[in-house]
Amino acid sequence: MHLLDIRNLKTHFYTLEGVVKAVDDVSFTVDEGEAVGLAGESGSGKSTVALSVMRLIKPPGKVVSGQILYKGEDLLGKRIAQFDDVRWKEISMIFQGAMNALNPVYTVGNQIVEAITHHEGTSSTEAWKTAERLLGLVGIDSSRAHSFPHEFSGGMRQRAMIAMALALNPSLVIADEPTTALDVIVERQILDLIADLKRKLGLSILLITHDLSVISELCSKAVIFYAGQIAELSPVAAMLKEPLHPYTRGLLDAFLRIDGEKEKLRPIAGNPPSLLNPPSGCRFHPRCPYAKGICSTEQPKLTDVGGRLVACHLFTGAS
């Protein structure tokens, strides 16, 4: 059984301008001990997937249909009060830009302790001990537990967030752009930290990012997201060696390879699509160098290509 099994998830936003289909029929799984990377451009809908799993979608957004199975149980079927028990204990989240993800009026230690005492009813002293241990785990001196978030640097805040996310020994950690707001050096440290913790604690991770290099480091499986839908789902190694979907190819081409030949950077032509009014047929077709006639009329279904999934007419066997 998969740890996390997302089936045909649809999350839409009913705005004044129309319906934004941020997540439009998305399915993938995360197994125990696995790190899955969800990649896509800004505004592609990938954060919405994470928020849907944590059921943090606010109006005008709504999870329209689909199932989110965690250890076999559909999370969407639970009442919020019940779900509050699952939150953080089983699945926790590291938010993008911990600058604002930590409450400025409480100390960092306090915020970790809060989660522990609320869910497990442990005494305050015990909880503080755990909090200090967790901070130590992420490389923050325990004496800093009584500092406020604004007294931490960006990298330290991110570490603190990680410590907080691990407070209740969750099985699944969702990391939403954990390193986007950090500089390269700090990014390196955080990535190493996450890899280390994953190994030590046997965590399962759903990593959301626009940076394929981050995925290639930490994850074993990659889900390439485009315009609210999955373009390609594949083991990372195979994806890097031989990207199937033209979008994936475009993404890889847009990044420098430190070991490859000196090539020109080739960004993907065109602009990110509107989720309000997505292009007809295959949503990538306006920017695709391989687009055929059928691409603008019919949406390609996810096809199995040697154990990998691609949504592209190059592989659907259509002419």
Partner 1 sequence: MREFVLKRSVFMLITFLVVLCLNFILPRVMPGDPITHLMGDVRLPPAVRQSLIARFGMNKPVWEQFLAYLANTFRGDFGVSFSQYPKSVATILLERLPWTLFLLTTSVTLSTLLGIYLGVIGAWRHGSRIDVGIQATGLALWSMPIFWLGMLLLYGLGYVLGLFPMGGATSAVMSYPNTLEFVKDVLWHSTVPILTLTLGSYASNTLIMRGAMLEVLSEDYVLTAEAKGLGQNNVMWRHAGRNAMLPMVTVIALNLAGVVGGAVFTETVFSYPGVGLLIFNAIQAHDYPLLQGAFFVVAVTTIAANFFADLLYARLDPRIKY
Partner 2 sequence: MSKANVTRRQRVRSTLQNASAFLKTFRRSKMGVLGLAIIVFFIALALLAGPLAPYPPKLMGAGQPFEVPSAEHWLGTDDVGEDLYSQLLYGTRVSLMVGFVAAFMSTIIGTMVGLISGYFGGKLDEFFMRVIDVLIIIPGIPLMLLLAAYLGPSIWNIIFILVFFGWTTIGRVVRSQTLALRELPFIESARASGAGDMRIMFTDLMPNLVGIIVPQAILSIVGAILGEAGLSFLGLGDPTNQSWGLMLYYAESYGAFLRSAWWWIIPPGLCITLVGIGFTFVGYALNDIFNPRLRRRGA
Whether the link from the prior residue into 273 is cis, omega within 30° of 0, is no
Work out what residue 275 binds among partner 1, partner 2, none; the CB cut-off runs from 5 to 8 Å by kind: partner 2
* Single-letter code of the amino acid located at 203: L
Query: Shortest approach of partner 1 to residue 167 CB, angstroms?
Result: 9
Nearer to partner 1, 112 or 282 (CB): 112
Return the residues of window 97-156 that contact partner 1 according to CB under 8 A: 97, 100-105, 114-115, 118-119, 148, 150
- Number of residues interacting with partner 2: please give it, by CB under 8 A: 14
Q: Footprint of partner 2 on residues 270-309 (CB under 8 A)?
A: 275
Q: Does 22 bind partner 2 (CB under 8 A)?
A: yes
> Pick from partner 1, partner 2, none: which does 15 bind, CB < 5 to 8 A by kind?
partner 2
Give residues 236-275 in contact with partner 1 (rule: CB under 8 A).
none
* Residue whose CB is less far from partner 1, 150 or 301: 150
Alpha helices of 20-123 — where are they, by DSSP H?
46-53, 80-86, 98-101, 108-120
To partner 2, the closest distance from the beta carbon of 159 in angstroms equals: 26
| Contact assessment for residue 173 and residue 88, using Cβ atoms and an 8 Å cutoff | no
- Applying CB under 8 A, the span of 87-95, 120-128, 205-213, 256-264 interacting with partner 1 comes to 87-95
Amino acid (one-letter) located at 318: A
Residue 13 contact, options partner 1, partner 2, none, Cβ 5-8 Å cut-off depending on partner type: partner 2
Residue 69 CB neighbour total at 10 angstroms: 18
Residues 67-86 that bind partner 1 (CB under 8 A): 80-81, 83-86
Max CA-CA distance within the chain? Answer: 68
> 13 or 315, CB closer to partner 2?
13
Q: Which of 87, 210, 308, 313 binds partner 1 (CB under 8 A)?
A: 87
CB 188 within 8 A of CB 107: no
The residues, any chain, with a CB within 8 Å of residue 157's CB and separated by 6 or more, are: 98, 99, 101, 102, 149
Query: Is residue 15 at the binding interface for partner 2, with CB under 8 A as the rule?
Result: yes
Q: How far is the CB of 48 from partner 1 (least distance, A)?
A: 13
Contacts to partner 2 from residues 27-66, by CB under 8 A? 43-45, 47-48, 51, 57-58, 61
What is the C-alpha separation between 263 and 149, in angstroms, rounded?
Answer: 43
Gap between the Cα atoms of 210 and 299, Å rounded: 24
Do residues 147 and 108 lie in contact, with contact meaning Cβ atoms separated by under 8 Å? yes
DSSP 120-188: H---HHHHHHHHHHHHHHTT--GGGGGS-GGGS-HHHHHHHHHHHHTTT--SEEEEESTTTTS-HHHHH
The angle subtended at Cα 236 by Cα 230 and Cα 242, nearest 5°, is 85
Of 6, 13, 157, 309, which one interacts with partner 2 (CB under 8 A)?
A: 13
Q: Does 226 sit near partner 2 (CB under 8 A)?
A: no
205 token code pair = 């991770």
Q: Which of 148/253 has CB closer to partner 1? A: 148
CB of 197 to partner 1, least distance (A): 19
Helix axis angle for 154-165 and 124-137, nearest 10°, is 130
Which stretches of the chain bind partner 1, using CB under 8 A? 54, 56, 80-81, 83-89, 92-93, 95-97, 100-105, 114-115, 118-119, 148, 150, 164
Which stretches of the chain bind partner 2, using CB under 8 A? 13, 15, 20, 22, 43-45, 47-48, 51, 57-58, 61, 275
